[in-house]
Amino acid sequence: MRLGLLTACLPGESLEDIARWAGSNGYAALEVAAWPDRPGRDWEASHLDVEAFGQADADRVTSILDRHGLTLSAVAYYENNLHQDREVREATHAHLRRCVDAAQLLGVRLVGTFVGRDVTLTTTENLRLAEQVLPPLVEYAAARDVRLVIENCPMEGWHPDGYPANLAYSPELWGWMADLGLWLNYDPSHLVWLGIDPVAALEAHADRILHVQAKDVEVDAAARNRYGVFGQVLDRQPWVSGWWRYRIPGLGEVDWRRLIDALHQHGYEGVVSVEHEDPVWSGDPDRVRQGLTIAHRTLAPHVHI
C-alpha cells in the first residue's frame, strides 16, 4: 500500500512542482487531474492535456514522476457521464476516452470518474440510461487494458434540490455498477454523512475496490437537528449542506486506523490518495500544502507498516 495525493487541489501549480513537493514530503504516488483546460473554470485542474497526448507527453510525465520517486495511481476526470444535455454528455464521454488513451500510454490501468445522473429523470430511469451509455465506455477502456474506477460521491450540488446526482453514492448500487464492469474508487467521507459505517461498507465490497481516496468529513449534529439529512433548504447554496463539510484526514469523523487496517486485512495493495477539499486548509497553495502535510501525518503511520 502506498500514500498518494490527487493533484486537483493545486490547479494553478505545474505537475513538475506538485511532484517535487510530494516526493520531498513523503508521498509515493500521484492521482493526476485531467479536466479540460476551459476558460473561466480555474478551479479545475488540467495537469494532463489528454486531448493532445502522445508518446512524447507520456515519456515527459513518466520522467517527472521518476525524478521525484513517484508512481502514477490513476488519471482523474470526475464528471457527469449521464448529463441531461446530450451534447455535454457526449463531450464528457469523448474526453473520458482521451483520458483512457493517455492512461494506456502512461502504463496506468485506472481512470477515475463518476456515473453521474440526468437530473430531469427519476432514479430508475437513470439506471436504465446508464445501462445503455456506460458499457461502451467500459469496453473502450477494457480494450486498452484500463478500468474505470467510480468515486462514491453523491455530488448533491449537481441536483437543484441537493439530492444525490451520482449513482454510485450508495453501497446498494455497487453491485449494479459491478454488473456494468465498473469498479470502486472508495472514499469513506461520503458514507459518514450518509449514516453508513465506512468500514462495514468496505468489508462488504473489498473485492471491487481498485483505488482509495482519503478525505474526511466533519459533522455538526446540532445543525443536522435543524436542517435534517437533506440539508439547508431556505437560501440554499450549492455544495453547502449547513451541517457537514469535508476535512483533511485526521480532522473529521473517519476512523483511519480501523479503515486502513480493514484494507490491509482484505489484501489491498493499491494507493490511498488524499483528496484535499478542506475549506479550512484552502485559499492559497501554501495552506493547501499544509493540509496535505496534516493528511500525511495522519495516514502514513497506518499505510506504511
Task: Kindly write down the DSSP assignment for every residue of 145-194, as one continuous string.
Answer: T-EEEEE----GGGSTTS---STTSSGGGHHHHHHTT-EEEE-HHHHHHT
pTM of the model: 0.97
Residue 173 has pLDDT above 90, yes or no: yes
Question: How do residues 78-98 score in pLDDT, each as one tens digit?
Answer: 999 999 999 999 999 999 999
Average pLDDT, the chain: 96
Residue 135 has pLDDT above 60, yes or no: yes
Strand pairing of 209-214 and 183-186? parallel
Class in CATH terms, 2-215+249-303? alpha beta
Q: Which residue, among 6, 1, 2, 12, has the nearest Cα to 215 in the 3D structure?
A: 6
Mean pLDDT for 239-248 is 96
Grid coordinates representing 6 are 490527487
305 or 270, which is more confident: 270
Confidence of residue 213 (pLDDT cuts 50, 70, 90): very high
pLDDT at residue 33, rounded to an integer: 98
Q: Which residue has the cell 465506455?
A: 137
DSSP code for 14? -
pLDDT at residue 40, rounded to an integer: 80
Residue 304 has pLDDT above 90, yes or no: no
d(CA 78, CA 86) in angstroms, rounded, equals 18
pLDDT at residue 43, rounded to an integer: 81
DSSP code for 249? T
At 69 the three-state DSSP class reads coil
d(CA 67, CA 285) in angstroms, rounded, equals 22
Residue 305 has pLDDT above 80, yes or no: no
d(CA 266, CA 296) in angstroms, rounded, equals 22
Confidence of residue 38 (pLDDT cuts 50, 70, 90): confident
Grid coordinates representing 233 are 433548504
Mean pLDDT for 175-196 is 98
